[in-house]
Structures are given as structure tokens and as C-alpha cells.
Amino acid sequence: MALPTYDEVIAKWDPVLGLEVHVELNTNSKMFCSCATEFGAAPNTQTCPVCLALPGALPVVNEKAIESTILIGLALNCKIAPYSRFARKNYFYPDMPKNFQISQYDEPICFDGYVDVEIETDEGTKQFRIEIERVHMEEDTGKSLHVGGATGRIHGADYSLLDYNRAGIPLVEIVTKIVPGTGKYAPEVAKAYVAELRDILRGLKVSDVKMEQGSLRCDANVSLKPIGSDVLGTRSETKNVNSLRSVERAIRGEMIRHAELLNEGKKVKQETRHFQEDTGLTRSGRSKEQAEDYRYFPDPDLVPVTPAAAWIEELRATLPERPSLRRKRIKEEWNVPDKEMEAMINADVLDIVEATVLLGADPTKARTWWLGEISRIANDQNVAIADLAITPADVAELVALVASGDLTDKLARQVVEGVIAGEGKPSEVVAKRGIKVVNDDGALMAAIEKVCAEQADTAEKVRGGHLPAAGALIGAVMKETKGQADAARVRELLLGHLGHAAN
Amino acid sequence: MINKTAAQMADALAKDETTSVELTQAHLDRIASVDGQVKAFLHVDSEGALAQAKDVDARRAQGEKLSPIAGIPLALKDVLAQKGVPTTAGSKILQGWRPPYDSTVVSKLKDAGVVIMGKTNMDEFAMGSSTENSGYGPTFNPWDLTRTPGGSSGGSAAAVSAFEAPLAVGSDTGGSIRQPAALTGIVGVRPTYGAVSRFGLIAYSSSLDQAGPFGRTVLDTALLHEVMAGHDPKDATSINAPVPAVVAAAKSGDVKGMKIGVIKQLQGEGYQKGVQTRFDESLEVLASLGAEIVEVDCPSFEYALAAYYLIAPSECSSNLARFDAMRYGLRTGDVDGASAEAVMSATRDAGFGREVKRRIILGTYALSSGYYDAYYGSAQKIRTLIIQDYAKAFTKADVLVSPTAPTTAYKIGEKVDDPMAMYLGDVATIPVNLAGICGMSLPAGLADEDNLPVGFQIMAPAMQDQRLYQAGAALEAALLSKWGAPILSKAPELKGAK
């Protein structure tokens, strides 16, 4: 039997989702010790007796991590528990120094929330509510690097290297309730949910939310039931989903895989699967048929978390505007066309454009600069826009210089290059490079006469009424004036010079 | 000099009658002379101790203000991490491990200028009541070398009892300070849970473990208690409150008007006759000093032992998971092609002793899904009931009392194959740990039938540790005048002693 197409899958089956998102918090120190959390440090340089689980070492909770988690809970419309505890999740694995993970179990700090997401459907924009079951705190494990063997997995490896820098980094796990009723839009809804979460978390400034670095990781639970049935199917849990696109692909792929099995009368195995970026398929991981017994119990080394109600309210008051509402507001206030809005979101320039606008720049101009020239340079240099050495203040200044006529758009592009090259603020680049608009008609006329003399044939054609030929002459004049002339004025003067009155 | 109390030694140091180097050397000599028989120490750090002593002497010479016990030598239970010094918790699995950091207790001792002479023997990971579960062989009771000194802090208690050290640090999870103190004729205190930092104390049962002091007198014990205790931000369960004035209490030693509650459930049947007799006599002494003796009822204590043997193994099954050969300690089975899991299993099999394995298995079972509520859950409920029993009893009495242990020191090997009999020895000490309160054991004399020391236990509410010392000092003074000489003077001379 051939693999069913997606349309065949959704004609018969109704997907049910469940999403678990792990977020690494961007606290300066780890969850239970004062070790640094910087990404990419040399292996095992950010460790201490606590996160290496030396005999006698004890954990102490990072208060900043609790604050960040409460903020996340509040932003996801959750209730905040006045009393919650940490538990130990016991299992042996070499990258987990204590051989138990400190995690919240049956007493999470945040619970019962929701996130609304919007996606485009055949019937127009539609909103889906994703209910949040819990938001809880835990610690990350170290990293294993399995050397040798074919798969890079522990089985068949010659040896394994362990890096405990990540061990103990604060993690927040956000778990949805089951998400039914998304039908054929399941992959899009999941992607929109993770994107919305990412935006919310970024707005809260509690995480770097970089999926490619693992600071935001999504485990996608998928099951299928026959359309109209109330009985849930067996789910698979797909891990290693490291981009928004992968969320969508992984769910779509799992739906097809499940449908194929079910169509053939086979059973879906309850198991963990690993998403493979290259093929878009998942492969079997640990089987979960025999539920592992983690022997959870309250961690006796830690005291309960009891945030004061007043503190929670203080935190609530600091919540930023919700990203989805903000996008709506911006779209309306700036009158941005749909496509442009999408482009801004995809290029992740909303914050930076808004900052530019707040500094006085025209929204359309600001957007055009960031999405156009600056994006192009970022692409060329293969870096993120945010990592370029140009600030919203620089762009606002640039827009002002163009508006006042001190720069043409073309000259402004040179200025952008200069700013990014580290030559200073736009005004400094203008001064250093001696860039200025040639407004002196006398100088322009001298250049026009020179060009017309050099390209007498072309000039004659224009004089004879063949206006498109003027382009070449204008270009030559611009070159003569080192691009500092206003092209429109050059055209006007040239045409006048060749016997065509301005119109 | 080694026969004096720590307070007397401190006085001699303050008056320049001796130096810490002299004092330390005298104790090191004593250790060299008798420890071959007692086997209190797993590791003697002569070099480190003498360097520390020299440093304290220099500071004293410069007129620096020092702690009251600066320069006094001490024996440290091997359960506490000391930077650079072998620390094994009595287990083969940690053989050769030298911690890269100091436990908070060790930092405090060092800051106070206390001279740490070495690490003392203990039941492996503090699991046991006789020091026979040590991975390095038992410690012998200085009163009778065929008998156990108790445990798990048997090495520390024996060291103090044998005059190898005037002070020692132990840890008490179910009686591991008080019971060996009782069996060796010295004073031992388990402070209130959270009073002494657990940072660097190799965990057995986190919610029950507490380090505490040993001394030959109530005052000596108080002097050490005051140095060890205090808030520590590195231990989340550490109490953030001033240390109770235990030294002042030990100096005042007054029980006039104090209400002393005798726990009905912790006497009579199951207690050795000589133990009960000395206990009853001590009560009479206290009454004669003006204390009011009342009886209190603690019905839930009947279940204390059962609760303890569910909670402690449960916590230890998780606490000891870190000993996996990956980062430190023993590593066996690491042959070509062996998986990490196989190396972990082989190492844990080779490195842990029988009692440790027994408790890990017990605890793993008690926490497993489907059994959690019946075992761990029920045990926690009993714990709550015991806390309530104490709370009620403390409305009727300022301190509560009982014999520390049902018997005097028993023979090495006597109970080794009968864990239940061994566990019963902790019946009177365990409730204190479950409730997180404080307790002291001090000598009440020798049992008539075997001439071995009997311990008298005093218990006080959480953070009222000073009451232990107040009542203990009063009883100690009265008994001393009755006996005419400290109890340890009645212990037989050890061969090889100078």
C-alpha cells in the first residue's frame, strides 16, 4: 500500500495534538547553583560541586528563575500556585550527574492557562485556543557526545564525552492540554502556537528562544482518531524538533505515518520518536510501552516555593503587550499591507522597526530600510539583522536626512554601508565620506554639457525626441557627480538643455 | 593534658600554658598509641593538623581575637567533605576521593581555628548503629574492645571516649550521634534540623540528617555546637535565625522549676534493666534539683521505627544514585565494549556494602509507582502524627527525656545478621529525627550487670537547643558530685597507652 497523501489522511482521520515546549531561561546563573550559563563555553568550564553532583553538594533555588516562570505563567493566562514543590525524577543516565532530575511534578507553579493563535484557513482567518495544562520549572541535563559508530547514538558508539555545562540550566516546561478539533490545520496550528509562545517569551525577555541553539525545544505528541470518534488514538511523541518549520513538518509526517499504519490495520506504538531535519521523517527512539517508573517524590533538599500574592501582582503589572495584539495594533496604526506585515514578522524586524518609528521615523520608510537594504546586507554577510552594527537611532537619523533632502536614497545606501562598516553614526559617515547631494545647478549643468559633448550621438537622439535614450546620459551625469546629484533634478536640467521643457 | 576537657585546654591555651601544636601533637601521639586497637580513624592528617595548629598559635601570638575553641584538636566524621583530604563516608565506592571543596561545617571549624586531625570511621553512608557496616572494618568500643561503640558515628564517639580527641563531629539521622555517645560514655547532641548546614555532608536521608557535636562534657559539646551552627545560604533547609545560646545554658545548668516529661512509650519493656535503673535514678536527681517530673503520652511513637525505615531508605535510594562511576570514586567493569549502564551496575555492586544495598532496594521499592502512597505516603503521615505528639507533649513539659538506647554496648557481630534487632536499638532516638527537633545524650552511669555506660536522652523543641544544655549541665554536675570522678575515669586503660 502506498503512503497516503495528506488529503487522504484528513479525509478519514482526525488528529489530536499535545505540545510540550521546553524553554531554557536566560538567567545569569543555573537553576540550583551559581554557575554561569553562557552558551558555547568550553566543555565543563561552567560547573561546580552542585551541578556535578559531588558528594555532599546541595541545590538552592535561583529566585530569578522563579520570577521568570511566574512571568511566563501570567503571560499564558495561568493561575499561579501559592505553594508548589520540586520533586525528584529518578533515572540513571550519564549526562545527569545526580541520576535524578529536579523537576516539578504534581505541584507545578503555574497551571490552567491558554494561548489564542490565529491561522489562515479556507474560510479566512480563524482563531484556535490552545489550553495550557501546566508551566513548571526543572533543570536541564548535560550533553553527551557519542563518538564513533554509525548513528551518533549511544548504541554502537566507541566512547562518549560528557559536557556538564548545560547541566542545571533552568528549564521551563510548558505543557498543553490535548488539542482536539484542529482537523487538517493541525500542523499549522502547532506551528502558530510555538511561534506565538516564542514571541511571548521573547517579549518577556526571559529566554533567548533560539530553537537552533536548543533554548526553545518542542516535543510534539500526535495521535489520530477516526473522524467523529471520541476515543483517542495511541500517541507518539516526537522530539528534536528544532525549528518552526520542523514543527509543521514533524506533525504532518507523523499524521501520515500513523494513518498508514492504521489504514493497514496495524497499531501505532506509543513511543518517543526523533525528528530528522534532512528527511522530514521521524525515527523510533525509546519505547514507552513500558512506562518508566521515575519514582517521583518531593525533593527533601529544597523548600516549597511560596510566592507572595503581592509579588505576583507586581509581576503581572510589568507584563508587556501581547505579541499578537501588538501585531494587530501595528498593522493598523502603520497601515501595513498583509504581505509586508508577514515579511516583517518573518524577518523578525518588528521590534527594531517599532523602535525606529518611536524615534520619529516614518513607519513605511523605517520598514523599507530594515526589510530592504539592511536585510540584504545581513543576508550577504550571513548574520542576523540584530547583529549588524546599525541601530534604530541610526536608521531614524537616515530617514530624517533623506526627508530633509540632505541625502538621496541612493546616497543613504552608502551611508548605511558606512554605519554597518563601523564608520560611525550616519552624520559622521556623511562627514567622513564627504557625501552630499549636489544641489548646485551650475555644477550639474557643467557635467551635463560635458556628457552631452562626449556622447553627442545620444544627445542628438534625445534632442530628436527619443526620450528613453536620456537614461544613459543621466547615468553618465550621476557618475560624473559621483552619485551625489539628485537624479530627478539631473533629468529635468538635461531635458531642458536638449530642448524639452519640463512637464 | 589529653585527659582534660576542651574547656580546660582552651583555658590553658589562652593563658599560654600550652600551644595548639603541643596539644595537637599529644593527641596525634595518643592516636598512634591506641588507635590500632580502637580503629576510630580512617585517615589521620598529621601534617595538615600540625600546620593548622601552627597557624592558630601564630595568630594567637599576634594577639588576634580567636574563637573559644581555637587551637583545640578535633576528629571529623568521614561523612563531611574536607578539601584535599580523603573523604569516603565509610564506603569503598568513594575510596581515594579527595573533595575539591570544604563542607560548611569544615569551613566554620577552620574559621574558628579548630584543628581537624582526621576523618573517623562510620557505618557506610551513616547506615547502621554499630560502625560494623563500614567498608573499612569496625571501630571498637574503648570500654570493651570486643564491643561496638555504636553508630553510625562510632569512630567519632570512640575517639573522644579514648582520649584521642577532646571533641568530635558526628551526624545523626536516626540517633547516630546520641546512641554512640551513650554507648561510649560521652556527650553527643543532635541539633535542631536546619541548625547546622548540611552543605558538604554526604547525604543519607536529607530530611533527617543533621551534623552535631561530641564532647566529654556538656560544656565542651556546647562550645563546639556554637561554632558549627548558623545559617548557610548554600543549604535551602538551613534555619535563618540566631544560634541558641547553648554555651551560656551549659554554664548556667539550672533545672529549678523546669518541667521534665518522661515519655511513657520510651521505657520499661525492651529496655535493659541496668539502663532503666540508671535512667530512673537520673530522674530522681533532676527532681532533687527542683525539676518537676511529669509523664507524657506519645502514642504514635510506636510507628516511628517503621516510618523511619521507609523514609530514610526512600531518600537514600535517590541520594546515592550519584555514585555511578562517571565523575569520581570507584569504577569497575570498564572493559572493552562495556556500556555506561554496565559500568554503573558493576561499580555499584562492587562499591556498596550489604546494608546500603538493602536500604537502596527498600527505598526504590517504597517509592515505586503503585506503592508510593502505601509506603512513603503513609510514612509521611506517621511523621506528621509524631510531630503532633511532640507538640502536645511540649505543652506539658519544657524538655522530654528517655534512655538513649535500650541496651548498653553489645558485642561486635552480635546483631550483624539480624537487621531488625539492630534497628530496634534506635527506637528511642528516631522520633527526634522524624520531628526535626533536637536531642542530647549524656552519661547516666554504668549499668550494674555489665559496667558499661548508659545514656540519658533529653529532647527539646526545634530551635530550643539551649534547653538540652541547661538540663544536661544540671544533671551532669549532680551526677559528677555523686560519682566523685568523671565516668570515663572508670573505663579500663587501653594497652599501649602512655
Alpha-helix residue ranges (DSSP H) falling in A382-440: 392-403, 409-420, 426-433
For residue A286, what pLDDT is reported? 62
- What percentage of chain A carries pLDDT values higher than 90? 61
- Quick one: cell of B48? 595538615
User: The complex's ipTM?
Assistant: 0.96
Chain B residues in contact with A49 (beta carbon < 8 A): 99-101
Task: Mark yes or no for CB contact A295/B368 under 8 Å.
Answer: yes
Lowest mean pLDDT among A73-82, A278-287, A304-313: A278-287
Catalytic residue chosen out of the listed positions B176, B317, B402, B441: B176
Residue found by looking up cell 501505532 in the block: A268
Domains of chain B with CATH codes? 6-301+383-490 (3.90.1300.10)
Q: Which amino acid is at A286?
A: R
**How far is CA A440 from its chain centroid?**
48
Mean pLDDT confidence for B101-126: 98
- Is the pLDDT assigned to residue A385 strictly greater than 90? no
What distance, in Å, lies between the first and last C-alpha atoms of chain B? 12
Q: Are B23 and B71 in contact (CB under 8 A)?
A: yes
Mean pLDDT (chain B) is: 96
The SS3 assignment for B25 reads helix
Lowest mean pLDDT among A19-33, A401-415, B48-62: A401-415
- Is the pLDDT assigned to residue A438 strictly greater than 80? no
**Tens of pLDDT along A92-144?**
999 999 999 999 999 999 999 999 999 999 999 899 999 999 999 999 999 98
Strands A216-226 and A143-147: unpaired
3-state SS, A253-317, equals HHHHHHHHHHHCCCCCCCEEEEECCCCCCEEEEEECCCCCCCCCEECCCCCCECCCHHHHHHHHH
- Quick one: cell of A414? 552608502
B65's CB contacts (< 8 A; 6+ apart) are: none
Task: Mark yes or no for CB contact A54/B87 under 8 Å.
Answer: no
- Is the pLDDT assigned to residue A159 strictly greater than 50? yes
**Tens of pLDDT along B133-169?**
999 999 999 999 999 999 999 999 999 999 999 999 9
Closest of B5, B390, B334 to residue A94, by C-alpha: B334
For residue B498, what pLDDT is reported? 45
User: By 3-state DSSP, what share of chain B in percent is helix, strand and coil, each rounded to 5?
Assistant: 45, 15, 45
Bridge partners (DSSP) listed for residue A139: A170
**Tens of pLDDT along A291-307?**
679 999 999 999 999 99
What distance, in Å, lies between the first and last C-alpha atoms of chain A? 71
Q: How far apart are CA A445 and CA B280, in angstroms?
A: 122
Strands B438-446 and B399-403: unpaired
Mean pLDDT confidence for A474-485: 84
Q: How far apart are CA B231 and CA B194, in angstroms?
A: 8
Task: Name the residue in chain A with its Cα closest to that of B371.
Answer: A295
Neighbour tally for B380: CB within 10 Å: 18
Mean pLDDT (chain A) is: 91
A220's CB contacts (< 8 A; 6+ apart) are: A17, A18, A19, A190, A237, A238, A241, A247, A250, A251, A254
Mean pLDDT confidence for B374-391: 97
Task: Mark yes or no for CB contact B236/A61 under 8 Å.
Answer: yes
Task: Name the residue in chain A with its Cα closest to that of B201.
Answer: A56
Chain A residues in contact with B81 (beta carbon < 8 A): 54-56
For residue A152, what pLDDT is reported? 64
Domains of chain A with CATH codes? 6-311 (no CATH), 321-433 (no CATH), 441-497 (1.10.10)
Q: How far apart are CA A211 and CA A214, in angstroms?
A: 5
Task: Mark yes or no for CB contact B321/A100 under 8 Å.
Answer: yes
**Tens of pLDDT along B186-234?**
999 999 999 999 999 999 999 999 999 999 999 999 999 999 999 999 9
pTM of the full predicted structure? 0.87
Task: Name the residue in chain A with its Cα closest to that of B367.
Answer: A295
On the CB side of A109, how many CA atoms lie within 13 Å of its CA? 29
- Is the pLDDT assigned to residue A457 strictly greater than 50? yes
Strands B399-403 and B453-460: antiparallel
Mean pLDDT confidence for A380-396: 90
Longest dimension (CA), chain B: 73
